[in-house]
Structure 1
Amino acid sequence: MVQPATPQVESAQSAQIKNQFGTFGGVFTPSILTILGVIMFMRSGFVTGQAGLGSAMLILVIASSITFLTGLSISAVSTNTEIKGGGAYFLISRSLGPEFGGAIGLALFFAQALAVPFYILGFVEALAITFPAAQEHFTAIGLATIAVLFVINYVGASWAIKTQYVVLTILILSIGAFLIGGVLDFDPAIARSNWESAYTEGNNFWVVFAIFFPAVTGIDAGVNMSGDLKEPERSIPRGTLAAIGVGFLVYLFNIIVSGGSTSRANLIGDPFGSLLAQAGPAAFLVTAGVFAATISSAIGSLLGAPRILQALARDDIFPGLGFFAKGTEQGDEPRRGLWLSLGMGIVVLVLAGAGGGALNAVAVVLTMFFLFAYGMTNAAAFIEQFSRNPSFRPRFRFFHWSTALIGGVGCLMAAFLINALAALISLILVSGIFLYISRRVLQNTFGDARRGFYYERVRANLAKLATFEKHPKNWRPTSLVLSGNPHTRQTLTTYALWLGSGRGITTMVNVLEGDLYERLDERAQAREELEAYVHDNELQAYVDVVVSPSFKEGLAMLLQAQSIGPIKPNMIVSGWPSKPRDYIDFAHQLHMTHELGMSQVILVDRGLPAEPKRIDIWWRGEQNGSLMVVLAYLLSHNWLWNRARIRLITMLDPGETRDDAAAQLAALLDAARLEADYEILPLGDFATQLPRVSADADLVMLGFRPPADEHAEAFHNAYTGFLKDLPTTMLICSTGDVDLMS
């Protein structure tokens, strides 16, 4: 159960001294180090050789555009709310709610935690290629590397950031070495020969795009530092977009100089060797750059994973994670999550041994998690603005819902282009986590955008619905149930909801007599009781309570004012008063409801059936009869009533033959497309035949017309006599809105 943070927890957290990183160290550096990673050294030349200069630049533009649009979404969401720890998880959960946020947050934690040993494996493999003697100590080197990185992070994020400054310096020197060498060796003839695509077997534009796309991701590394930033609302947009821009320019420059200085065969056959050749005497810097790229990515992941876990634990979305909520007094460092990340990394490194290839499929799935996180971030920004949520007022202005929509679709397409099977597996895993969270009782919605989105959709649909004229074919029960205290009228509320059959709208109302100001507290209590009744019994119903000097006036207010635009109540469901206080008032109630255009269902309670087998409808004509048959049809769609047969019962009119009546009922049922039985009774005394024929039914439906004042008492007495030997009965008066033949 998600609980709001207690004051004690909040005060404890506020007492901690947070890190105060700026834009460059807290966002730009982690992001750019992840963007300028292994793919730049090991696969960028392959992409240029396969696609050619023209298509390689197009691939870069498409891939970077997706990341750039995601960066706009991140900037918009992060400048619209107070940012705390958790990175993308925090942004998504505060916009789309705990279900989406929790699903992506847990996936991101595992992705970041397991990415650490993968990057270390890449580092050790590169080391073994450069120094073959290291192959014998593959696992030991990997374990030693993760231990060193753990110590750096354990000391504090500030030391990890300082280490990344060193790594960034090495990376800059490395990139400078092969770019400058490429410029010096640039030959326009080579560039022209490499301009067109020349895909080898098994490769095409989208295959090569899939190979390259992970190169432009990595912006989550900076976003994950959200809780350690001095001004996250300023640093996240600036640092993220700057890293995307710088990364784009570096890759663009690399594609141009590599394509203009190296033959296609070398680009495809030995992309890393091509960079070494471009660097010439400074080739050692390129080798150091590969080491720096893998180490920097590992540091970024080891920084991010514990922080995501800490944010998840503090939001109490998953049971058992509370242990990881605690942070250090200085810097609020998530050391408990860091220990867990270390343990997971050690297990992976030991299992991987000297050949991490068996884990490649898992590595691809982890890439999918990042892409889905980007997609969800775009979805969050899209919903916030598209729903025109008044609270969505981001300081970042260079954003539109269409950019978020394009970015989200692009992330989804990229995931399936990279590896459709891995994308599907990841989607199933994330969906499973989402469903798990959805089934828990979540009390804290974080004020997310879902309500605003649904509100906007409802508002737009109501406006559209108002343009359609009412038609009997589209009639649905929109019921007001005069439930009073529902605990004393459970049969009434149960039947009312059965009649809705999940296709209508039911509102349970209670009318309190008295002065509004004197009974405000009682009104609030009565509303709470209704809401608790609906919640505890898992009913699809809404509630309302009104206070009025008299029941008559209160009902009049409800009947006139209860509506939202075109959705107005069209049916009142109430109980049969065994002894009305005033027959004239009761008749006025029936007349008032009828004159206001609402059908009426009056339930005579004889209890709920255990295994209902038959519904008897006493057919006297199409106006009331149509509503009775439709309500019986809706009732039969409830699981308890789905085996009950509907039986139409009619009495012969003077001069009418049984064959004529049978033909009319058969034609009626055929035109109504309903399966039902019928029984034709001879002309006789209704009061005598009614109990004889229907006493063994499970539900009886009878029509009525509101009586005139002078007949009010006789009306009540007559129906009381009809009902005394019957099972549960519904007295139904239709306004004619329902046409059985439509």
Structure 2
Amino acid sequence: MVLNIVGVTGLSLKSFKDNWGSAYQTTNNAGIPDPNGEIYWHFNALVGLFFPAVTGIMAGSNRSSSLKDTQRSIPIGTLAATLTTTAMYFISVFLFGSVATREKLFTDRLLTATIAWPSSAIIYIGIILSTLGAALQSLTGAPRLLAAIANDDILPVLNYFKVVDGGEPHIATLFTAFLCIACVVIGNLDLISPTITMFYLLCYAGVNLSCFLLDLLDAPSWRPRWKFHHWSLSLLGASLCIVIMFLISWSFTVVSLALASLIYYYVSIKGKAGDWGDGFKSAYFQLALRSLRSLGASNVHPKNWYPIPLIFCRPWGKLPENVPCHPKLADFANCMKKKGRGMSIFVDILDGDYQECAEDAKTACKNLATYIEYKRCEGVAEIVVAPTMSDGFRGIVQTMGLGNLKPNIVVLRYPEIWRRENLTEIPSTFVGIINDCIVANKAVVIVKGLDEWPNEYQRQYGTIDLYWIVRDGGLMLLLSQLLLTKEMFESCKIQVFCIAEEDSDAEELKADVRKFLYDLRMQAEVFVISMKTWDHTGGNSGGGSNTQDDSVEAFTAAQKRIKNYLAEMKDRAEQEGKPLMADGKDVVVNEQQVEKFLYTTLKLNSTIMNYSRMAAVVLVSLPPPPVNHPSYFYMEYMDLLVENIPRLLIVRGYRKDVVTLFT
């Protein structure tokens, strides 16, 4: 593998003298030629004269399609040819040393012709034939290599050079011949030689680097037949190729590396993935495993905490055909990442039997992945087949992710259509998902008004309002800061509304919150609101009567629907002679407590409407579902909370801090 490092230059003798052998002309202070410089020049000249012995080391690979047994012929043929040529060169050294003086060897560049028998013309003819033979060999191998690259579809610009299996690459041959003629027309071997040398060295370095990576990473597919191979030899070969490139000409090296980088970038953007795999993917895999092991399973410190949202794509209702999820979900997922960095897991549930729906799940996963890529969102798509949505989600929330890379936030859309389309199964499913997240200790973000969520080109003005009711580990604060990093929200300001008890010291609470935000290096305006300030009989809190009338009307309608639902439950229980049941389980209904929940939710909604009607986004704490209450009741509470608020994030933190003062 590293035999290619011996003859690494294609420079002419003059180029070696100019670039490498300047020491040959140097003298010491006494004007005497420096013998060390002469030895150095001779060494490099011999390396360059040795160049033809190894430039054909890839010839077998270039013509692999013509070989019967490539795995056997290429190693044996390459090593045999190189060793034979090397032996001939060593013999030539001794023969020339036997027939000529040192001075003659140094000054006569065509010593072979001088001592040839019977005539020097033999040598001239031999040089011409050797040159033509090498040219024809390259003209035979290079077009086939160009056609093979074109057939692999990794460079769309090379589609003109494609050939059918077994066909001759006529267009590629003409193109190669044109390049050769262009180089000949230049008429300057010392300009062409370094360029060709760089590409030879880049090719050799690339082959050695590939072998080094595959061997070092212990890829199961890497099974070389050469028993004496070791990754250190490949690394040495690649390193020496790069080093000698800089020794020859640093300017040519920089240009060559830049050109190779541009080609690689073009292939990564425009090229198609081949079926031969990618050595770098193996490196990424090993790096990911090492990183995952280093993270361990311990709790992540708040200053190293990243949101890993699990985006629940299952719609509450029907979507148009071939639309995998709500079009704005990925836009919102990007808003939860700083500068777009981070991982999102998009999950959908396919109802049915796994064996029957496996192929449908693969198709749905492919469509969802295409949607994520189209939205330029860093994330992965997963489709789970389950008998019901609840069963599927319960499995997802328990098993999705690895170690500390498990999703820590569940994002779902608020089911605004459940009453309009009479989807009676939604309340129990929705409440079940929230309870599952609480049990699994996952944070929850419920998005209301996703249809109106802005895209990256719709700049928002105004405020981002936070209604901080319960301790959530700082998740609402962190989400608001992440929103500000997006161009659409960068013109907004943050307002924090603290909902206080009636008898609490508002000024003291306000000072504490301001100090807390200052220590977190977060800029926000703080307000402290007591629920007692709301009164349905008159205007206050800065709001108009229309706002309160809408809230009171929604309150009255919810109160009436709950009474009707409770009456139906009681009638059914009396007829069946069973206790009150809802959602397949026993429930206990305290009517006074139901009224309290409705009234509290009404006051919070009215407060939000009074202070944040024109806000770009409103964030409010998610109230947990009351124990032993029917799911229908909780949906009524939630509907009353979100009433008339166009864009709302309902947030529940989990039992971990996501912000810290010690960063």
TM-score of Structure 1 vs Structure 2, range by shorter chain: 0.7 to 0.9
- Which structure has more relative contact order (CA 8 Å, sep 6+)? It is 1
2:284 is the alignment partner of 1:436: no
* Equivalence for 1:345: 180
2:133 is the alignment partner of 1:326: no
Match of 2:635 among 709, 716, 728: 716
Match of 1:591 among 435, 438, 457: 435
Match of 2:137 among 300, 303, 308: 300
Q: Note closer, same or farther for the CA distance 1:679–1:37 as it changes in structure 2 (3 Å cut).
A: closer
* Equivalence for 1:459: 289
Match of 1:666 among 514, 517, 542: 514
2:337 is the alignment partner of 1:508: no
Could you tell me how far apart the structure 2 residues matched to 1:448 and 1:36 are? 27
2:223 is the alignment partner of 1:375: no
* Equivalence for 1:699: 617
2:438 is the alignment partner of 1:608: no
The CA deviation at 1:525 is 3.9
The CA deviation at 1:278 is 7.4
**Higher helix content, 1 or 2:** 1
- Judge conservation of contact 1:511–1:548 (CA < 8 Å) in 2: yes
* Equivalence for 1:550: 388
* Equivalence for 2:336: 499
* Equivalence for 2:526: 678
Partner SS state of residue 510, structure 1 = strand
Could you tell me how far apart the structure 2 residues matched to 1:705 and 1:636 are? 25
Could you tell me how far apart the structure 2 residues matched to 1:328 and 1:435 are? 29
Deviations 1:297-337 (A, max 9, x none): 322222222112221232234446444333797xx443332
- Judge conservation of contact 2:300–2:404 (CA < 8 Å) in 1: no
5 Å matches for 1:141-220? 197-199=36-38, 214=51, 217-218=54-55, 219-220=57-58
Match of 2:498 among 632, 650, 660: 650
Q: Note closer, same or farther for the CA distance 1:663–1:682 as it changes in structure 2 (3 Å cut).
A: same
* Equivalence for 1:726: 645
Could you tell me how far apart the structure 2 residues matched to 1:382 and 1:215 are? 26
The CA deviation at 1:701 is 0.9
**Amino acid of the residue matched to residue 197 of structure 1?**
N
* Equivalence for 2:481: 633
Could you tell me how far apart the structure 2 residues matched to 1:204 and 1:652 are? 87
Partner SS state of residue 226, structure 2 = coil
Could you tell me how far apart the structure 2 residues matched to 1:206 and 1:675 are? 69
2:69 is the alignment partner of 1:239: no
2:415 is the alignment partner of 1:577: yes
- Judge conservation of contact 2:144–2:169 (CA < 8 Å) in 1: yes
- Judge conservation of contact 1:378–1:405 (CA < 8 Å) in 2: yes
Deviations 1:327-376 (A, max 9, x none): 797xx443332233333434444x43xxx23x633432222111111111
The CA deviation at 1:420 is 0.9
Match of 2:606 among 677, 681, 688: 688
**Amino acid of the residue matched to residue 707 of structure 1?**
P
Could you tell me how far apart the structure 1 residues matched to 2:478 and 2:363 are? 36
Could you tell me how far apart the structure 2 residues matched to 1:591 and 1:584 are? 10
**Amino acid of the residue matched to residue 231 of structure 1?**
D
**Amino acid of the residue matched to residue 731 of structure 1?**
I
Q: Which segments of 5 or more consecutive residues in structure 2 lack a partner in the other structure?
A: 25-32, 316-322, 419-423, 535-603
The CA deviation at 1:292 is 4.5
Partner SS state of residue 597, structure 1 = coil
Could you tell me how far apart the structure 1 residues matched to 2:271 and 2:17 are? 52
- Judge conservation of contact 2:385–2:392 (CA < 8 Å) in 1: yes
* Equivalence for 1:523: 361
5 Å matches for 1:247-286? 247-252=85-90, 270=107, 272=109
Please tell me the root mean square deviation across aligned C-alpha atoms, in Å: 4.0
Q: Note closer, same or farther for the CA distance 1:347–1:418 as it changes in structure 2 (3 Å cut).
A: closer
Q: Note closer, same or farther for the CA distance 1:641–1:255 as it changes in structure 2 (3 Å cut).
A: farther
Could you tell me how far apart the structure 1 residues matched to 2:475 and 2:628 are? 27
Could you tell me how far apart the structure 2 residues matched to 1:47 and 1:496 are? 57
Number of residue pairs the alignment of both structures matches:
560
Could you tell me how far apart the structure 2 residues matched to 1:575 and 1:464 are? 35
Could you tell me how far apart the structure 1 residues matched to 2:94 and 2:503 are? 99
- Judge conservation of contact 1:619–1:625 (CA < 8 Å) in 2: no
**Amino acid of the residue matched to residue 302 of structure 1?**
L
Q: Which segments of 5 or more consecutive residues in structure 1 lack a partner in the other structure?
A: 1-30, 53-193
Deviations 1:539-563 (A, max 9, x none): 3221112222222221111111112
- Judge conservation of contact 1:47–1:208 (CA < 8 Å) in 2: no
**Mean alpha-carbon deviation: is it higher for 37-46 or for 297-306?**
37-46
Partner SS state of residue 198, structure 1 = helix
Partner SS state of residue 539, structure 1 = coil
Q: Note closer, same or farther for the CA distance 1:739–1:458 as it changes in structure 2 (3 Å cut).
A: closer
Could you tell me how far apart the structure 1 residues matched to 2:441 and 2:644 are? 32
The CA deviation at 1:440 is 1.4
Match of 1:739 among 639, 658, 661: 658
- Judge conservation of contact 1:36–1:215 (CA < 8 Å) in 2: no
Could you tell me how far apart the structure 2 residues matched to 1:405 and 1:583 are? 62
**Amino acid of the residue matched to residue 449 of structure 2?**
D
**Amino acid of the residue matched to residue 441 of structure 2?**
G
The CA deviation at 1:208 is 6.7
Q: Note closer, same or farther for the CA distance 1:733–1:278 as it changes in structure 2 (3 Å cut).
A: farther
**Mean alpha-carbon deviation: is it higher for 398-407 or for 40-49?**
40-49
Partner SS state of residue 710, structure 1 = coil
Deviations 1:501-525 (A, max 9, x none): 4332211111233333344444344
**Which is higher, the Rg of structure 1 or of structure 2?**
2
**Amino acid of the residue matched to residue 581 of structure 1?**
E
* Equivalence for 2:306: 476
- Judge conservation of contact 2:605–2:642 (CA < 8 Å) in 1: no
- Judge conservation of contact 1:44–1:271 (CA < 8 Å) in 2: no
**Mean alpha-carbon deviation: is it higher for 563-572 or for 520-529?**
520-529
**Amino acid of the residue matched to residue 349 of structure 2?**
V
